[in-house]
Every structure is written in structure tokens, then in C-alpha cells.
Amino acid sequence: MSNYHIKHLEEYYQVYRKSVREPENFWEEVAEEHFMWQRKWDNVLSWDFTKPEVKWFEGAQLNITENCIDRHLATRGDKTAILFEPNDPKEAAEHITYKQLYERVNQFANVLKEQGIKKGDRVCIYLPMIPELAISVLACARIGAIHSVVFAGFSSTALSTRINDSDCKMVITSDGSYRGAKTIDLKGIVDEALNDCTCVETVLVAKRINSDINMKSGRDKWLQPLLDHASSDCEAELMDAEDPLFILYTSGSTGQPKGMVHTTAGYMVYTAYTFKNAFQYKENDVYWCTADIGWITGHSYIVYGPLANGATTVMFEGVPSYPDFGRFWEIVEKHKVNQFYTAPTAIRALAKQGLELVEKYDLSTLKVLGSVGEPINEEAWHWYNDNVGKKKSPIVDTWWQTETGGVMITPIPFVTPTKPTYATLPFIGIQPALMDENGKELKGNQVDGRLCVKFPWPSMARTIWGNHQRYKDTYFSAYENMYFTGDGALRDEVGYYRITGRVDDVIIVSGHNLGTAPIEDAINEHPAVAESAIVGFPHDVKGNALYGYVILKDVGETRDHANLRNEINQIITEHIGPIAKLDKIQFTQGLPKTRSGKIMRRILRKIAQGDTSNLGDTSTLLNPEVVQDIMDNVL
């Protein structure tokens, strides 16, 4: 019996040891017992990080949608697969059962075929968080087309770059989208993007906001009439284990976005297994991940991982602030959510609001809370733990990346004792390594270094679309025979990992290596501070000095800024030492952030360094308007 479901700490250690000593046996057992294969593999794993080349379950044939849908029909046909909660709380939620999902995915798959899409073709999906998004993703997988979902908050330039990079034949979009009280003209953005794309032959348009849009004849087609005529049976395409399933773009510190390529069998096995364990999902639980399917979190832990386990997965169209900041908690109460997975940036935004908004709702169904996307600072961790989890729901701080496909370092709830700001232990099968500046592995505990992974895991990205050399250079060249994550981490006295932030954010001050995250944590402890970001700027004596951007809480803070600056430096001195004191502190209304909530330190760094000549494309930011404001008030 493979240990598909880890239930106590001793079992974790035992299974972990097995996964390291006999990785092939371990993953073979998991794959064998919990999935539906049309043909079994000839070889579990072959790998060579110097090329790099990694193959899992070679020779196997399968279709991931048969695993996510068909095989549940007999026992879970009437169970809700996708629970759609619309932007407007007055609009009814939609419960899509596994049986209905089967029919809708197959109809959509037949439409794709009818429109000339074949196995291996790339299809760009640019949709809001409506059921058609999940369904079109699965429809592509059904026929072996490679989906490339682009987050529907991205600009037309960002969209056309991604469409062209992977040569997409089709775009699936909608007439528009709702975002809180606003509507967004998605089709207009697609039209603009397509002025620069000659590869796209067809645009399928779902109706969401009933706006009057322009349809280009011969190219644009309304989706619904096509679906109405399509059969709800569509044979699943036989896919090889290593056939690409999807491309998903992620931005690097330089250059064009990277189209990370994920393949079929390993991705399926790993996302399903991690979902089951990292959230301790039990039959009839309602699981909700607040991410957008436009990000890897949504691919792996809204669509594929949950559905592969026959789970009920919530898809939320709206935003946490509409109609007010109680919306998340209202949804938890309404749908009796058991597992809730969100990002630290959302937690901090909600923590800034009054507690009445949390206390108003019944959150007693919650069993597990998750965090992902950036290091969760101590204050946010406690707020989440105390007020949302009522100190009874473990927080799983899951560290992973677009590139890793699935969760890599995480507590297993009710199994791994949690520790604030620590992602804790490597997941089963994951072999992390911390490396020093000279490329030597730091053994033992209480060490701090660059986070690498020294052995392949099933869901790792296999290449960058169209640029294998860049894949090698970015991830496999920094350290010999290692996958380099780009993050720094420390391992504490019991072997727990704490992610300290991107190593490109490390600032050397007077020869001291300072990570941004712990300093920001310290600043955020000041009662008047809502959020902060620090960057380095050149200094005559110290090499670099620290520049802090600080957002104050919305409490009508009237105190003298000079005093506040002193107090902030006092806190830093207390937490880290005088070496980490900030030379400059700029109070600001906002920080430039990516759509996934990451602070764009690159922009802040340039402004602090007085070099605003080339800030790059700021149009894809969540809040491009704050950039000018910060520039106007630079110190």
C-alpha cells in the first residue's frame, strides 16, 4: 500500500525516508494505486540535470481529464465538482456536478475539434474566473491541445507577447468581466492584442456581461451556440506521459516572460498527492483556493489537484473587497468551506480592516488554512491564526513556484507542528539543499543559504517553451547537478525551512548579508505600519544602504514623520541590529505589485537609486498609478 494519505508525524518521516531512498518504488506505488492509466509505464524515472532532461512514467499513456472527471462518475456523479461563486453576491452560486462537468467539458472539447484544434496545438485562454475558464482548460486537456492561460488582468501587450511566444492558434475569451463594482472590456483587450498576432485563426467568445462588442467576421465566434450543438461525448485523446499539458508564463528578473512547460503524468500524480496531504482533504469537504486560474496556484490547486481527488473546489469570480471586506468570510459561511487557501497580501489587506467583518460570520467549518506566494510575516500569520482559524486550524505555509508545479515545502496539517513564518518540512519526495556562495552544500541544521533541489520530482517544469537553453541557464547552471530556485532559505535547529525571500533581493550592507523579509517583518511590527518594502541604494562607505518604503495604517495617523522614522529604526535595531537600520524612509500610499501580489522591488530599487530612465513595462502591475506617486515623493 502506498501511503497516499499521511496521518501522523512518524508516518511522515517514514514515508519521506522511503521517498528519498527508493524514489522510483515510492512514486510507482502512488501512481499505480490512485490513477487511471490506459497503458502503464516502462520506466518510472530517467533524469540528467546537466542536459537538463527529466522524464517520469515514460511509456505510460493516459488522459488527465479521465482522472479528473470520468473515473469519478460512478461514485461521485452527483457530487459538486466546481462550486462557482459569482462576483455579485446576489447572483446565485452554481453547483456543477461531476456528471455535468463531464458533459460540459466534452461539449467544449468537441467545439475545439470542430474549430480545427488538434493535439499539440496551443490555445490561449484569456477568461475571468467563470466556469468556462476551468472547463476550457479541461477541454484542451481532453483533446491534447496545450493550454496557455493568461491572467485576465494582463494588458494587451502582455497578452500578445504570450500569444506570439507560443504561437497560439486560438484565443478563448469573454465579452467582458466583472471585478467588484467595475466591468472590464476583455474582448477589447483581445482585439488590441491580436493586431500584433498573426498566428490566431479563431477567437471563441463566452458571454458574461452582455455588453455590445465588436465581432470580427470569420475570426470571432460566440461560444454558446457552438456548445449548444456539440455532443456531450468526446473520447479522451491518448497522451504520452511526457506530452505537454500546458504552458504557463512567469516573469523572471530580466527579459521576456518564460513559458514554463508542464507535462502530463508527473504533474497529475504530484498535484493530486500534494493536494490530498497538504490540505488533508476528506470526502465531502468544500475546498476553496482564492487564487485565479491564471496562476499556477489555480492550475494545480483549483483545477487539477482537487478534481483528481474528486473534491469540491470553489471558484470565486470576485475580489475580497466587494461588496465589502467581509466577502471572503461571507463565502466561507455560505458554502461551509473547510479548507481555505489564500495569499499573505490578501491576509494583510483584510487585517487592516476592522475585526467586526470577520466576527460577523460563522467560520466554524474551517479546518485548514493555507498561505502561498510570498513569505508570510509574523504579524499576518498571527492575525490569520487568531481571527480566522481561531487557533484551531493549522496554517499551511506552502512554498513552491510556477516552475515546481506543486507544493514543495509545507507543513502537513495536524501532522507537522507549525511555526510562524516557517514553511517547515520538505514534502514527500522533495530533497532540498542549501548552498553557500561558493557552491558548497551547507549540511546540518542552523544554516542559511540558497535554496536548491537535488533530485527530480514528478511535477517539475521540463523546459521553457522554445528556449531550452534559457531553462538550463536559469535553473541548472548556478550549482552543479541542482535545480536552483532563486530563493534564499534557512534551516533551523529542528530542520524546519524558512524562506527568506528571493536572493536577488539580498542587500549587502557593510559586508553584511541582509535579506529584505526579516527587516520588513520588523518594520511591520510598528503599530502604525501597514506594509513596507526595502531596497538597497549605493552608499559611499557601506557599499549599500537601505531605503524603506512604508505604508501607514488608515487610522488617521497624525504623528510626526521624523518620530515615526526613529521608532521604526529602533524596532529594526531591536529585531536585527543597528546594521539593518534604514538610511531613508519614504511614507507612501501604495507599493507597486504584480497581479499575484508580489512587491516589484526592481522598480523600487531603481527609484531609490535615482535611476528612473528604464522602469520597464509597468502596465501589467496591479496598481501602475503608484509608481509616479512614489517617484514624485522620492527622498
Name the minimum Å distance from CB 81 to ligand WT7: 22
What is the closest distance, in whole angstroms, from the C-beta atom of residue 5 to ligand WT7 in the complex?
Answer: 22
Q: What end-to-end distance do the CA atoms of the chain give, in Å?
A: 63
Nearest distance from C-beta of residue 398 to ligand WT7, angstroms: 5
CA 192 to chain centre: 27
- Interatomic CA distance for residues 391 and 195, integer angstroms: 53
- Burial group, residue 2, by CB count within 10 angstroms (0-12, 13-18, 19+): middle
Closest distance to ligand WT7 from the beta carbon of 534 (Å): 16
Query: Measured from the CB of residue 615, what is the shortest distance to ligand WT7 in angstroms?
Result: 20
Question: Which residue number, 399 or 465, has a Cβ lying nearer to ligand WT7?
Answer: 399
Closest to ligand WT7 by CB, 244 or 597: 597
C-alpha count within 13 angstroms, C-beta hemisphere, residue 321: 13
Give the H/E segment covering residue 164. helix 156-165
Rounded Cα distance, 602 and 618, in Å: 11
Whether 484 and 450 have beta carbons less than 8 Å apart is answered as yes
Least distance between ligand WT7 and beta carbon 518 (Å): 12
**CA 565/CA 334 separation, integer angstroms:** 44
As given in the structure block, the three cell numbers for residue 549 are 518604503
Decide whether 318 or 373 has the Cβ nearer to ligand WT7: 373
Give the nearest distance from C-beta 500 to ligand WT7 in angstroms.
8
DSSP character at residue 578: G
Whose Cβ is closer to ligand WT7: residue 85's or residue 505's? 505
CB-based contact 165:134 (threshold 8 Å): no
User: In this structure, which amino acid lies at residue 439?
Assistant: G
Using alpha carbons only, what angle is made at residue 85 by residues 170 and 71, rounded to the nearest 5 degrees?
A: 65
Q: Which residues bind ligand WT7 (CB under 6 A)?
A: 250, 295-297, 371-375, 397-402, 423, 485-487, 499, 502, 596
Return the number of the residue (86 or 344) whose C-beta is nearest ligand WT7: 344
Choose between 41 and 399: whose C-beta lies nearer to ligand WT7: 399
**Between residues 34 and 258, which has the closer beta carbon with respect to ligand WT7?**
258
Pairwise CA distance, residues 515 & 521, whole Å: 11
User: Closer to ligand WT7 at the Cβ: 373 or 429?
Assistant: 373
Amino acid letter, residue 498: R
DSSP letter at 212 equals -
Could you tell me the smallest distance in angstroms from the CB atom of residue 403 to ligand WT7? 6
Q: Would you say 109 and 143 are in contact if contact means Cβ atoms under 8 Å apart?
A: yes
Question: CB of 602: closest distance to ligand WT7 in angstroms?
Answer: 14
Q: Which is nearer to ligand WT7, 371 or 418 (CB)?
A: 371
516 and 509 Cβ atoms separated by less than 8 Å: no
34, containing H or E segment: helix 23-34
Q: How far is the CB of 421 from ligand WT7 (least distance, A)?
A: 9
d(CA 488, CA 244): 30
C-alpha 542: how far from chain center: 37
Between 35 and 267, name the residue whose CB sits nearer to ligand WT7: 267
If the CB atoms of residues 487 and 521 are measured against ligand WT7, the closer one turns out to be 487
At its nearest, how many Å lie between ligand WT7 and the CB of residue 150? Answer: 14
Helices in 282-339 by DSSP H: which ranges?
Answer: 296-298, 305-308, 327-335
Q: Which alpha helices (DSSP H) does 229-335 contain, by range?
A: 265-278, 296-298, 305-308, 327-335
Distance CA 361, CA 534 (A): 36
| Gap between the Cα atoms of 17 and 26, Å rounded | 10
Query: Which is nearer to ligand WT7, 385 or 402 (by Cβ)?
Result: 402
478, three cell numbers: 548556478
The answer to whether 176 and 213 are in contact (CB under 8 A) is yes
Q: Where are the alpha helices (DSSP H) in 364-511?
A: 378-383, 468-475
Residue 340: CB minimum distance to ligand WT7, A: 15
- Which residue sits closest to ligand WT7, CB atoms considered? 402
Smaller CB separation from ligand WT7, 402 or 516: 402
What are the residues whose beta carbons fall under 8 Å from the beta carbon of 371, sequence distance 6 or more? 341, 342, 343, 344, 347, 381, 384, 395, 396, 397, 398
Q: Minimum CB separation from ligand WT7 for residue 207, in Å?
A: 31
Minimum distance, C-beta of residue 399 to ligand WT7, in the bound complex (Å): 4
Cβ closest to ligand WT7, residue 263 vs residue 485: 485
